[in-house]
Amino acid sequence: MKIVQEGSFYTGEYRSLFRETGVPEEVIRKRLEDTWNELFYGAPDVRIYHPMGEDKGYIVDTGNNDVRTEGMSYGMMMAVQMDKKEEFDRLWKFAKEHMQHTEGRYKDYFAWHCTLDGTQLSPGPAPDGEEFFAMALFFASNRWGDSAEPFNYSEQARIILRACVHKGEDGEGDPMWDPATRLIKFVPESPFSDPSYHLPHFYELFALQADEPDRAFWKEAADRSRAYLQKACHPETGLSPEYANYDGTPAEPQPHGDFRHFFSDAYRVAANIGLDYEWFRSDPWQVEQSNRIQAFFRNIEVADYRRYTIDGQPFEEPSLHPVGLLATLAMASLAADGPDAGHFVKLFWDTPLRTGVRRYYDNCLYFFSLLALSGNYRIYS
């Protein structure tokens, strides 16, 4: 199997690591469709998607029994990648009607979580939702075309990104990207970031599709995020904290917890780096980083994954999302060229979806990894 030497953005080719390990294409395609059906229409202890009325639907965080912008935007990205327009539109209409603010300091942002009937639980936004909403909407526009509001996807994406960059310039609210550093914030009011929010591969595409005056901003944001991740990831273990300052050092403990360590949020960093490398191949450091984090976990059983300090010291506390962590370690193989890359791809392929109360986060990461490692996490432009 020929390995593409340039990023998919330039070549239009996408590696299938499953094929490279000997899995037939028809088996891969069936696994992808079956997994979609399980997550969206499967048994009660597996599914995370639920239709609502005639034209809406939501993704439920099963561990907290609520609806989050993280899950809604993830679900939209899954749907557009799978060419499932009905589910995409249902999710978007729920988010648009129940979660997006129409006035005030958060206008055009989304309340980060709400009840299953759409009642907002808190007004504040979480920027990882906004960036996934915008990217999924651009892909939907490019794949299916725009139609009447709210399905004028590309304009809806631009509205979101406009707010993310310019909020606060009129004196009300705060932007989601720090104007000085061009780095995404943990929340608009915070003076620090979350390494797992950094999606330079999305920002490269925003630089082509956002409002013309903001395109240079997004290109710079992509470069700054790649540089930031090099600071946030430990040079020996490859582990990163959940929250980090703009210089990459772990953020101080917050009123809602201590997020200086490698735990749930931070798992996504490995996957994001892998996908950025697959799409753009702009940073050779991403290969070294992916090899490092895979080497750290190579001899640890999935059942033994724990919380770790970023220099690799384990806590007694087990991982809340071990299947999700495995999925991201496998997705790192898009960049890794070390001896462990094939191991994690095979281990992931042999691991089923998680069932039970905590399945939501694990299985979102699982599905993204399944898309990416099959060559089906694609750019639509």
Catalytic amino acids? 70, 265
- Cross-strand bridge partners of residue 307: none
CB-based contacts of 142: which residues, under 8 Å, 6+ apart? 154, 380, 381
- What are the structure tokens assigned to 325, written together? 């962590």
DSSP-based three-state secondary structure for 179: coil
> Closest Cα partner for 160 from 139, 140, 182, 138?
138
Both tokens assigned to 274: 């892998």
Q: Within a 10 A sphere around the Cβ of 357, how many other Cβ atoms?
A: 11
Measured in residues, the chain has a length of 381
Is-contact 332 338, C-beta < 8 A? no
Angstrom distances, CA of residue 235 to CA of 115, 230, 292: 41, 8, 8
Read off the tokens for 277.
Answer: 């490398």
